[in-house]
Amino acid sequence: MTGLTTEQVERFHEDGYLVVEGLIGIDEVLEPLVREYEQVLDRLARELYAAGRIADTYADLPFGERFIRIERETNETNAQYFDFSLPQGNIKHDTPMWLGPAVFQALVYPPLLDAVESIIGGEIFSNPVQHVRIKSPERLGAHDESGRTKMGATNWHQDNGVVLPVADDSDILTVWFSLSDARVEHGCLQVIPRSHRLGLLAHCPAGPGGLEIPERVASRDEALPLPTRRGDVIFMHKQTIHNSLSNVSDEIRWSFDLRYNPIGQETGRGAFPGFIARSRSNPERALRTRDEWEALWFAARAHLADVQYSEPFNRWSADAPVCA
């Protein structure tokens, strides 16, 4: 195992985050992901064209431009077609997901797991709170009836705050990496350094961006943008306060947002399936194939569609005094 240096691990624990440049291999991980998602977008474009929802499949355009064009014409983010997790409601037997081999290989990429191991140890569980996020420029993307963008800047929050209380004692590690450059103008992440020392803070429902920590609860004065290049990785403590900026560029911002925790600890989203990504004590326990991983998610989708799952995915209420 190569992993992180002692200095990097100490910096992570001190600041609540760590940026590691070039950790994700372009040829080994990123380019296969791009090719795979090009196929997903092509299939979506053909379906939308056949349904009369777009005027052309725009097959001659590169991925980013094609994605923007289709989102703008349909006025839908189409996010669920690309995601490798289920939505938090209205799950049906045909709810789309993308659980491709390149995505699975990214989740178990050895250099990434080596870095994760440096922080949480060698018994690593892939937490199902995971997403791909493809954010179009806000002025070009989908908007709701009030004119607000449907996928814009992310509100200030802690990742501990978007899972259930059962995981409060779990050592959940956030792993975020960009498939395309995420500069300030693209809507990169921002963190409040050392905010993980504050513990879990109150969150309030806050429009299309989901939950938000009110500013009167936590100041944004020390906010630090973290621009990244494709392949850079940001590791975050589960209680580090962070958000993302608006995409004011002409290009998509494309990223993976993953979680890992030690085996045996609660994930905070028990309705969704995780898997053992690495076990130093018992290596044969690790999930080996994409087909096994896909089967876990298909089984969860079928079950949740059948039972019409309606349990909450977080603990917060707009009725809380701090949200008034």
62 CB neighbour count, 10 Å cutoff:
10
In a domain, residue 97? The reply is: yes
* Domain containing residue 96: CATH number: 2.60.120.620
pLDDT of residue 276: 98
Number of domains the chain contains: 1
- Grouped pLDDT means (10 residues each) for the chain, 324 residues: 93 98 97 98 97 97 96 94 93 96 98 98 98 94 82 90 94 97 96 97 79 91 96 98 95 97 96 97 97 98 87 79 79
In a domain, 48, yes or no: no
Residue 109 CB coordination number (10 Å): 18
Domain assignment present for 64: no
Range of the structural domain that residue 290 is part of: 6-25+82-323
Task: Identify the H or E element spanning 135.
Answer: strand 123-135
What pLDDT score does 311 carry? 73
Does a structural domain hold residue 66?
A: no
How far apart, in Å, are the Cα atoms of 300 and each of 59, 128, 295, 305?
34, 11, 9, 8
Would you say residue 42 lies in a domain? no
Closest CA to 240 of 193, 180, 310, 172: 193
Q: Does residue 51 sit within a domain? A: no
Is 89 inside a domain boundary?
Answer: yes
pTM (2 decimals)? Answer: 0.95
67, part of any domain = no
Instruction: Supply the pLDDT for residue 89.
Output: 85
Between the CA atoms of 65, 70, 76 and 79, what dihedral angle is there, to the nearest 10 degrees?
Answer: -60
| pLDDT for the residue 208 | 61
